[in-house]
Amino acid sequence: MKRADEPEIKLDGLINKIKSEGIEEANRQAEEIIKEGEKKADVLIDEAKKEVESRLERAAHIIEEKEQASKKAIELAARDSLLSLKESLRKILESLVKSGFDQLMSGEALEDLLLKTIEGWSKNKDSDSGLEVLLSEKERNALTDTFMKRLSDHLKAGVEFKVHPDIKSGFRVGMQADHMHYDLSDEYVSELLVAHLNKRLATVFSDMKDEMKKQG
């Protein structure tokens, strides 16, 4: 004989399975965004290395040409130059990451990512019940009729799109009842990528400082 609570237990398991599948799909999309950002960052870091090497060469010429100059003063000037360059590059990287994310999360690209992410949460016939997407007012208003039709063709139940004041681009998606969302907003993804790039920049400039010490 089946217990009275057995259907409820199966429903809980189904909901957990739906969430897991949706998060896996959203994770895959986020990884693609981050990989694309890393490719652009690699180019910037290579350029930064060349710029630092050029500055080191100029500093070496200054030392040779001005033998009476204080070696300590030159070292401090070189250090300040590196710190200034590092800060400038950090700001440039943050700006590029934000700008690149905004371009990626707009128009058809945003609609395609939204559709794939929502489909990931809604593979079961009942899983799209109570699904909500949070995004900026500008992007909510920009969703095309074509996109809404594509969405309705794939889902049995509707999805509620809500404007969130803290989201400038990107979106968050989740179940309304849980009050928990998977975050693909500009702020969250940009913070992750910038933090990763800042670590790489720190390593590059640490190597440059070690090279300066050897030359000194």
* Residue 125 pLDDT > 50: no
**What's the mean per-residue pLDDT of the chain?**
70
| pTM assigned to the model | 0.48
- Residue 139: pLDDT band with limits 50, 70, 90: confident
SS (H, E, C) the chain: CCCCCHHHHHHHHHHHHHHHHHHHHHHHHHHHHHHHHHHHHHHHHHHHHHHHHHHHHHHHHHHHHCCCCCHHHHHHHHHHHHHHHHHHHHHHHHHHHHHHHHHHCCHHHHHHHHHHHHHHHCCCCCCCCCEEEEECHHHHHHCCHHHHHHHHHHCCCCCEEEECCCCCCEEEEEEHHHCEEEEEEHHHHHHHHHHHHHHHHHHHHHHHHHHHHHHC
Chain segment 91-114, per-residue pLDDT in tens: 666 666 666 666 666 777 778 878
pLDDT per position as a tens digit, 189-210: 767 666 666 666 666 666 666 6
For 69, 92, 118, 201, the CA distances from 52, given in Å and listed in that order, are 22, 16, 45, 12
Beta bridge partners of 162: 134
Report pLDDT for 68: 57
pLDDT tens column, 43-74: 777 777 777 777 778 777 776 666 655 666 66
**pLDDT at position 98:** 64
What's the rounded mean pLDDT across residues 159-182?
78
Average pLDDT over residues 115-134: 68
Instruction: Give yes or no for residue 162 having a pLDDT over 80.
Output: yes
- The predicted pLDDT at position 153 comes to 72
Q: Tell which residue, 108, 82, 86, 89, has the closest CA to residue 210.
A: 82
Q: How many residues in the chain?
A: 216
- Least confident stretch, 69-78, 111-120, 135-144: 69-78
